[in-house]
Amino acid sequence: MDTTPSVELPIYQPDCPARTVIELLANKWVFFALILLRRHNAPMRFNEMRRQLGTVTQKMLAQTLRSLERDGLVRREVYPTVPPRVEYSLTELGGEAARLALAIGDWSQEHLGEIEAARGVHDAKASAEPQPLL
């Protein structure tokens, strides 16, 4: 089945169907979950992911993983044990998205000093400028 859109629209146009994918990937918990699964390079259990991600709530992580599973980026494997054991891993498609997320994460860490310096210069300049009267 061909799933290629019949008309390619620029991604920044509101009616571009690919925007839903960008909106998914732009979610910070999606971004962090993809990086975590990529770096772990093995299936992970829910609570293990939650501990690693730190401040994510149980509800937010569950929603994030459901979205990723729905879009074919994460595989959810349920094992018939008591209690049931559930593991999450990247699909091939998810691995590609995680590679991109990891590259952005690595770039962010590499350039953090430059970005913080630019912020400092900007904030100092902005605080020195006269403020408009309201």
For residue range 84-99, list pLDDT tens digits in order.
Answer: 899 999 999 999 999 9
Rounded Cα–Cα distance for residues 48 and 45 (Å): 5
Residue 7 placed within a domain: no
So what's the pLDDT on residue 129? 79
Average pLDDT value for the chain: 91
CATH code (residue 76): 1.10.10.10
So what's the pLDDT on residue 108? 96
Residue 2 placed within a domain: no
So what's the pLDDT on residue 5? 52
User: Each residue of 30-70: pLDDT tens digit?
Assistant: 999 999 999 999 999 999 999 999 999 999 999 999 999 99
Residue 4 placed within a domain: no
Residue 28 placed within a domain: yes
Count of structural domains, the chain: 1
Residue 119 placed within a domain: yes
Residue 12 placed within a domain: no
Residue range of the domain that includes 64 = 19-128
Handedness of CA 5, 7, 9, 13 (dihedral sign): negative
Give the predicted TM-score (pTM) of the model: 0.82
